A and B are shown apart, each in its own frame.
Chain A
Amino acid sequence: MSFEMIVPKEKYDVAIVGSGAGGGMAAKILSEAGLSVAVLEAGGFYDPAQEEYRTQLRWPWESPRRGANTVRPFGDFDAAWGGWEIDGEPYLRKNGTSFDWFRSRMLGGRTNHWGRISLRFGPKDFKRKSIDGLGEDWPIGYEDVKPYYDRVDKLVGVFGTNEGLEDDPDGYFLPPPKPRLHELYLKHAAESVGVPVIPSRLSVLTRRVNEERGACFYCNQCNRACNVYADFSSGTCLVQPAMKRGNVDLFTNAMVREVLTDSDGLAAGVVYINTKDLQEHRIQARVVVLGASACETARLLLNSKSVAHPNGLANGSGVVGRYLHDSTGSDRMAILPALFNRERYNEDGVGGMHVYTPWWLDNNKMDFPRGYHLEYWGGMGMPLYGTGSGMESLRQHIRDEFGNSSPNGGFGIGLKKDIRTMYGSTVGISGRGECIARYDNYCEIDPNVVDKFGIPVLRFNYTWSEHELKQAQHMHDTFEEILTAMGGILVGEKPGADQEYGLHAPGRIIHEVGTTRMGNDPATSALNKYSQAHECKNLFVVDAGSFVSQADKNPTWTIMALSWRTSDFIVEQMRQGNL
């Protein structure tokens, strides 16, 4: 299948940049409303149902590196073309700060291998400043987004349970899978120390939602992208179906370098570089929709300077690139002796955890302002690169029937048996929390460096504040409490202040949002409450750039709900002749 030979229309109703969660949803909704749509995607065509792309159900030995992450950052079978670094497409950091940026260059963007954790924001998540005085309130509330969350649930599919939790709202869920054994251990331990555990919420089809997609067959490999489309990817579930129904032209290997504006300062289309032959092309459109991912969208806007927009497009306020924030993240692992020599059975399950913990405490009683949720891992997963290693320090935890511990290290049949004994006995917890958006955390155009397409690149400035550090410290107390209550042997040391309490570098949780935030005041926001640029009425953003705050939730469900809402708005405005 090749979509590169299309002859572009003279003018499209809408040009969409990027085919990830935000761009894919816009392509579907806008094309189904009868608009002609061009989707410009910097990466290549990808479809996990086609044999040439399939990594699902492959055995470790099919990879010469046994699944190691020397080529693909999340392992050799992971469905991501791209990573933390991309050849010829650098980014920089400022002032000795850190930010790591994960990009996927492919149809569907990062939704091919994402974790499928699909959480709604709750009513308070849109109004945090009113609660604790920090950051900013969204110009919209849960009631504005709820109808779209409902539609996304039904269209895309997500399993979970209605628990009646105020800030983790109910939804149209599919039935969840039962917990695995280590998840039962974790659940009982957590509940014994007052931490609630409920079924997780993942966009995996435990039941079918339409005739085009199959049901999950439990291979635990969603990050490899699903052959029968039983997990959500934008390419398989939004863009390709939209293309089948017509009205969508997909341009792959099309790197947009600039949004064109006319003499009135309105968007006129985009310029892109074909990454294969390096030729430049133009696409004319009545409306331009950016879904290149939060930082790429900021980069595009800042690189789209014109007489009408000397500061970059939609950037009269100077906030484009500002208020960048990623989730906080830290983790801890333990060995659970109760699982040594465990009975073997197929424990793959879905490609992610079956249970999780939404934020359960009251920040009024804590010394940090925002919450975090807990993700759990472990189990008898497929052996991949790394299996059997670390015995120079882990082997001591194995005891024989007389209680004598094995010596660390070693070799021979005893070692071989001990590795088998230990298989499937490690468990872990990850905390993922809300970082407060700050003006001082930002990306901007580097004045000196261009990428291999000649496009100026981004540089980042990002630090954690005391709020995030205190939150991470609390995470680690929680990890230890649960893992110890479970009877686990903690692995490694608890990180202290000198290690920023084990906080991963900014960007590492890959929930970066906020770079073109929405608001009612054009002086402090780039977009209005429909994600329409204040200064350019036919320009819209449908990725997480529009987020005002991140919540202690993963962003993608909200990206899709907001993209749908913006798409409805575009259709409506076009009907009324306003665009």
Chain B
Amino acid sequence: MDRREHLKLLLAGGVGAGLFLATGCSEEDRRQSEEILRDTGYGYGRADYEEEHDRKLFSETFFTETEFEMVKVLADIIIPADEESGSATDAGVPDFIEFMMKDYPPFQLVTRGGLMWLNNQCNSRFGKTFLGCNEAERLEMIELIAWPDRAEPDMQYGVRFFNRMRDLVATGFFTSRMGVDYLGYQGNRPGFWNGVPEEVLAKHGFEYDQKTQDESIKEEDRYRIAEWDDDMNPI
């Protein structure tokens, strides 16, 4: 599709978007159309006051450069690359975390303080900041705060901080395109729900009983305008 076709479909209104996504367009089409949406300033269905709010947040920077570097390192410790997918930073997670700091201000103090606490610990232990440490030293430190059930009482500040970082990194990763693909989510596309696939049903020891099969919607009926018999049953 060329740009004009994209726009025509996207701006058609009515069933435009649904149809567009129903045509089984390619990955490349999808990417292009998203770019076009961005260029045309459509956002993602924002009201004016929301667009303004987001613009304001994007114009501000919360993390210092050093803090942001620390966030990147932590992100890839929490979600590293493996043979199936890239890492948290590959998926753009640090930018998401930067945004969330401004979007949810209660994150700010605890995150900034947590990063400093981490530096303080590294300074006491290794005489260097977290970023100054080598990989082995960093992991030695993280081991002390990553396992809530076995962490020492005086590590609780770090445990809480790391729990929050784990949540933010994981959620940032699994809601990125890379993470969604890694997770294997198959939806968000127009289709027909005809029940759980046979083989999955069988594996879990279920089947649809006759009543369910009879009363449920059949694909060939979906566009037929509904009518009912005298007993209120659809025909």
Contact = CB atoms under 8 A, between A and B. Distances in A.
B189 interface: yes
Interface string A376-398: 00001111111111111100100
Contact of B194 (A178, A217, A385, A407): A178
B77 A411 contact: yes
A70 B101 CA distance: 11
Contacts of A381: 187
Given A51-B13, A53-B45, A386-B171, 12 more contacts: A44-B47, A51-B10, A51-B16, A172-B234, A199-B215, A208-B226, A342-B200, A345-B186, A391-B167, A407-B150, A416-B82, A419-B183
A70 B147 contact: no
B183 A184 contact: no
Given A68-B104, A217-B191, A55 B217 contact: no
A239 interface: no
Given A171-B232, A184-B196, A214 B80 contact: no
B233 interface: yes
A177 B79 contact: no
Contact of B185 (A211, A380, A386, A390): A380
Given A60-B175, A64-B103, A409-B163, A207 B78 contact: no
Interface in B173-217: 173-177, 179-180, 182-197, 199-201, 203-204, 206, 208, 212, 215-217
Contacts of A159: 217
5 contacts: A59-B188, A170-B232, A178-B195, A345-B197, A391-B167
Given A71-B50, A208-B222, A409-B147, A350 B193 contact: yes
Contacts of B53: 71
Interface residues of B, number: 91
B10 to A, nearest CB: 6
B222 A207 contact: yes
A59 B180 CA distance: 9
Contact of A59 (B173, B177, B199, B204): B177
A387 B171 contact: yes
- Counting chain A CB atoms within 10 Å of each CB, the highest count among B45, B58, B82, B149 belongs to B45
Interface of B: 10-11, 13-18, 21-22, 34, 42, 44-45, 47, 50, 53-54, 57-58, 77-80, 82, 96, 99-100, 103-104, 142, 146-150, 159, 162-163, 166-168, 170-177, 179-180, 182-197, 199-201, 203-204, 206, 208, 212, 215-218, 221-226, 228, 231-234
Interface residues of A, number: 98
Nearest to B13: A50
A408 B226 contact: no
A150 B47 CA distance: 37
A215 B219 CA distance: 11
B103 to A, nearest CB: 5
Interface in A407-429: 407-413, 415-416, 419-420, 423
A206 interface: yes
A161 interface: yes
Given A178-B194, A348-B188, A412 B80 contact: yes
Contacts of A412: 77-78, 80
- For the residues of A in contact with B, the DSSP-based class is loop
A408 B147 CA distance: 6
A221 B18 CA distance: 12
A413 B193 CA distance: 34
A58 interface: yes
B205 to A, nearest CB: 9
A116 B17 CA distance: 22
A58 B45 contact: yes
B184 A420 contact: yes
B177 A219 contact: no
A409 B151 CA distance: 11
Contact of A228 (B15, B50, B167): B15
